[in-house]
Structures are given as structure tokens and as C-alpha cells.
Structure 1
Amino acid sequence: MSDITAGGGPIGRVGGAGLVYVLIALVGAGLWLVSSRYPADMPVIGPYSFEAPVYGAVALALFWYLRGLGRLSRQGGAVPALWRRVAFLAGIALIWIAVQTGFEYLAQRMFFLNRIQHVALHHVGPVLLGLSMAGPVILAGGPDWLRHLCGGAAARRVMRVVQHPALATGLFVGLFWFWLIPPVHFVAMLDPVLYQLMNWSMAVDGILFWAMVLDTRPRARTGVGFGLRAALAVAVMFPQIVLGALITFATRDLFPYYAYCGRYFPGIDAVTDQQIGGIVIWIPPAMMSALALIVVLNNMRRADAQRA
């Protein structure tokens, strides 16, 4: 999406961005109106329950990314490869589908669909976004305050803390386990605030972790070497295999919330629902770790070739 200019000057650029922001706000207001007043008329790709922060984050990230691509192209900057652009759009789309479409209704009524939702938010979507290396593009297309905020000393200190290998790995594994403690899960699924906190923690934590692991920059610029990143990609796989196995082989209903609210597919009993959900926890995250390991090793090879 290119800037709408008036004689190519700054006023035109600001005005063009302003029109897009107004359009984003109007679309959001329309989605909220239909979701709250006429939910039966909402198409399946629209939000089951409109959440303004999720909508704003997705819409602004998409706008700034597309505008950044246009600016980098015109200025002769480094434009990401096509496959990285596709990875970004796919990651954004997957997060939107997981929490702002009719799929969310199903994820609140079947355990295995809820697990698919969280694997999308915590693993697949963030891995795609990590592969896209979209940060510089979003900053290129974002407003000045965003560049100043992200480039400031405070932001760098925060990122050094949350992306410290030990803390990032502990949060990545711990949050996934925490929200599956049966009493915690029951309360979180019933409380709207905790439900949103649970989903946001999955997405934000996943993006921070995989962005650190899949970063193409060498240790001199990130503070984390490729060997450690490869080890982290593998290390997070085993606790989730254990968690998936514990749920898969459970012989009683661990998550009574879904019986309480009524399962969407009544032909699938509680134990079968859990078994499918356990496999979802078990297999796809392990595949993401294997993919991440391959990517990190390739990044290491390319960095060595550049040094040579």
C-alpha cells in the first residue's frame, strides 16, 4: 500500500495515512456493531466476539507492513524475499482466524479445537511471523513515534530481559502449561478478562520467543548465538511432548468446562476430546521445533559463509 501524496510532500503523506487510519476505525466500528447487535449476520470470517485490541493490532501491523514495503522499494532499501512476505501475511491471517472469526466459537466448546487455537497462537503463527523478519519493514512503514519508541533505550532494555534465553524459554513452556492446569483453565474459559489474557499471553509470548530463535542476525548483534538458539528450539519440544502425553493418556475428564458449557460435537465424549487435544499439543509443536532447528542451522551456515 503506497502513500497517498499531495505533490509528494509530507502533508500529502500524513493525509494519506490519516485516511487509512479513519478507514481502519470505521471498519472496526462496523465489525463491533454487527458482532454486538446482529451476530447472526456476521460472516464466518468476521469476529464471533469483536475485540478492539486484537483488531487494532492486526490492522495496524498489516497497514504499516504494506506501507513499509512500498517505502523500502521506492528508497532502494532491502525488501524481504517473496516467501518472507507470504510468511508474514500467513502468520497474521492465522492469528486473526484463531481469535477473531467464527472458529473462536468452536474453540470455546471443544477442547481439541481450543488446543488448535493455542497452537496457532503460540507456535505456528509466531513461527511464520519469525520467519518473515517483518520488524524492520513495519518500522519503515510505521509512524515516527513507533520508531522512536522501539529504538529507545527503555525498549531495548525490556527486550533484553524478556528475550533472555532462560526467561524466554521458561515463559514459553510455563505459560503453555499454566493455562492447562485444570482449575486455572476452567476459570479462564469462564472469565472474559482471563480468557483474553490467556490468548494474548499465548500470542505475545510465542512471537517474542520465536523471533529470538529465528533471528538471522549473528550473536554480536543479538547477544544470543546460533548454537544456543538451536538448543532452545529443541529444548522447548520435550516439555510439550510430556504435556501432550499426559493429556492424551488420561482416562478421566480433566477439563469439565466443556461438559459444563456443552460440547459442540456431542458425539465426541470427554476422553476422546482430550485424546485428540493431547495429540494436537504433542505433534504440531514438535514439528515447529524441528522446522525452527533447520532454519537456525541454515542461518548459522549463511552467517559463517558471509564471514568467510
Structure 2
Amino acid sequence: MPEAVTIGVRAARLRLDRNAGIAAAIVALGLLIWWGCRYRAADMPAWAPWDFSALWYAAYALTGWAYVRGLRGAPQPVWRIGFFAIGMAVIWAVLQTRFEYLAQHMFFLNRIQHVVMHHLGPFLIAVAWPWPVLYRGLPKPLRGAFDHRHFQRFLRFMQQPEIACGLFLGLIGLWLYPPVHFVAMIDPALYQVMNWSMVVDGVLFWSVVLDPRGKALAHNSFAVRAVMGVAIMFPQIALGAVIAFADTDLYGFYAWCGRIYPSIDALSDQRIGGLIVWIPPAMMSVLSLILVLNLMRLEEERNAPPAGGAEGSASRGWTGR
């Protein structure tokens, strides 16, 4: 066997052994966390799961592994890595720590949980734009699955502005509809569907709006993306106002299960929750508009003719540069 082939085979085996070792370590850590949550819950640190979910753990572990692998061949600015890590961390904090227990016993804390899952965490992840790094870090079979024409066709369909906005707002309205909300909170399976749908849809939507690429690659112009970020603001304001100004307790689940803070009555809890539905998402829509306009400015500067030309000056005139 030629020496080059022998070296290649050895390198492939080494990578396989290393990947197998990492996979074994991930599984072992998961089992250790599960055991601690099951039998030593009072001794677990604050970041540990309140109710361990193997699915959430696997998603986080595999995503982190792929990201670290991808960074080896595609170094990123520190700020991108930081935004990605913070976005992942805040979603974990509201879904897998003891905060989840609090969110199941107070409506306004449940609203904070959903704002973080659907808005803040995915927003930070989208700003970091980790997709090229994650793709590079994936094993080849998974890359092939993402490159498959059916998946790409589905992704293109979901990235259409009307589909992305409709799904984003529709899921918020669905899980806030009082009868559906009550069932989702008492049914463990539906509760998981609710949480997964919020996180996945949030990542999908904000990745469309905050895509730093031009129209040729992003499939939506910067103007369309700016409109998308602002368009979702007004229905959320209206929904938050309806909840905040309601004179009756719309979400009886929290009285049924017992509020963690008895000093906050049902209507006060609901009004605070309505304000959380109303104000933070609206602020994030404004921030998304600012970021999209800045991305458009950067794209124009990248594509502008060399400085000094009349055409280049005209194209950059609106930035003041």
C-alpha cells in the first residue's frame, strides 16, 4: 500500500477514534447529570437541569461539539462566539434550570421564558451567524442531509417572508390562547412540543431577518427583512394589550397549580405578563430594524466601486461616508 494511502487511513482512524471518544464523554456526562438530577437534586449546581431532558441535552451537546469542530477550520471573531454562547446559555437557563419550575407556577415568568426562547436567545444566535461554522463541524452524513434537495426546498419555503412571519406570530397566538395554554401546561408531551416549537421557530425567523448576506444568497432583500422585523411588532403589541387590560383571569392554570408568589394575585400576574408580551418583543423589533439597516450599509460598501469614483460616492452618500 502506498505510503500516502497508509497515512490517510491512519488519519481517518485517528479522527474516528477521537470522535468516538468525544461521543462517549458526552454520553457519560449526560448520564452523570441525569443521575445527579434524579438522586441528588438538592446538591446540583444552579446551571443543572431541574427536570433533565435527554433530548435537550443531546441537542446542546451535539451543537456545541459541532461548533467547536467548525471553529478549528473557520476561526470567528470573539464577539460572534460570545453572542452564540450567550444565546445558547440563556435558552438553557429558562428551559433546563430551576427557572423552568418557577415559569410553570407564574404566568409572568412563563412569559419571560417564552420571550427568551422565541426572541432573545434565537436573536443572539442569529446575530452570531453560526451556520457556516456549524455546517463545517458536522459529520459528512449530516452535511449530506442538510444539502439534500428536499431539505433545501423545505428551508426555502419556510424562509418566505409571509410564511416566516405567519408562523412566528401564529405560534405565539396559539400557545397564548387560554384553552390551548392550559392543556399545554398540564400535558408533558404537548409542553415539550410547545417549547421546541418556540425555540426552533425563533431561530428560523431571526436567522432570516438578520441574515448578513445579500439578496442573491439570502433570497430576501434587506428591505423585505427590515419590514419582517417590524411587521411582527404590532400584532404582539395588540396581543399584549389584550392580556394586560383584561378584567378576568384568562389563565386559570396558575391558580389551579398554585402560584409560587402568593402575594401576586391573578390579575397582577396577568397584567405583568401582558406587558412582557407587549414591550420587550417590540423593542427587539426596533433593534432588528437598526441591525438590518446596518447590514444593508455594509453590503453596499462591500459592493461599491473604489473610492473616488462618482458612482461609488453616490452609492455611499446616504451613510455620510
- TM-score in same-fold range (> 0.5): yes
Q: Which has the larger radius of gyration?
A: 2
Q: Does 1:291 align with 2:293?
A: no
Q: Using the TM superposition, give the Cα deviation of residue 55 of structure 1 relative to its aligned residue in structure 2, in angstroms.
A: 0.8
Show the counterpart of 1:161: 157
In 2, the alpha carbon distance for the partners of 1:229 and 1:52 equals 35
Residue number in structure 2 paired with 1:33:
35
For residue 237 of structure 1, the aligned residue among 221, 226, 233 is 233
**Residues 156 and 7 from structure 1, CA distance in 2 versus in 1: closer, same or farther, beyond 3 angstroms?**
closer
Alignment of 1:143 onto 2:139: yes
SS in 2 for 1:224: coil
Look up the equivalent residue of 1:87 and give its one-letter code.
F
The Cα shift of 1:34 comes to 2.5
Percentage of matched positions with identical amino acids: 49
1:28-177 matches, cutoff 5 A: 28-72=30-74, 79-177=75-173
What pairs up with 1:149-298 in 2 under 5 angstroms?
A: 149-298=145-294
Q: Please, which moves more after superposition, 12-21 or 291-300?
A: 12-21
Distance 1:256 1:38 in 2: 33
* Runs (4+) off by over 4 Å: none
- CA shift for structure 1 position 251: 1.6
Deviation of the 1:255 alpha carbon? 0.3
Q: Deviations over 1:76-134 (max 9, x none)?
A: xxx33221111100011011111111110100001000000000000000000100110
* Structure-2 separation of matches of 1:17 and 1:71: 16
Structure 1 partner of 2:317: none
CA distance in structure 2 between the partners assigned to 1:18 and 1:128 by the alignment: 31
Measured after TM superposition, the shift of residue 35 of structure 1 is 2.4
1:306 is displaced (CA, Å) by 1.4
Cα distance change on mapping 1:262 and 1:67 into 2, 3 Å: same
Structure 1 residue 40, shift from structure 2 partner: 3.2
Shift of 1:163: 1.4
Letter in 1 for 2:181: H
> Normalising by the residue count of structure 2, what TM-score does the alignment of the two structures yield?
0.89
Structure 2, gaps ≥5 residues long: 1-7, 305-321
Aligned-residue RMSD, C-alpha: 1.5
Provide the secondary structure at the position in 2 that maps to 1:9: helix
Number of residue pairs the alignment of both structures matches: 297
Return 127-136 or 146-155, whichever deviates more: 146-155
Shift of 1:7: 11
How far apart in 1 are the matches of 2:49 and 2:10? 37
Q: Deviations over 1:227-275 (max 9, x none)?
A: 0000000000111111111111112111010010000001100011111
Aligned partner of residue 157 in structure 2, secondary structure? helix
Which residue does the alignment assign to 2:3?
A: none
Deviations 1:144-178 (A, max 9, x none): 11211112211110101111111110000010011
Q: Corresponding residue for 2:316?
A: none
- Give the gaps of 5 or more residues in structure 1: 1-5, 73-78
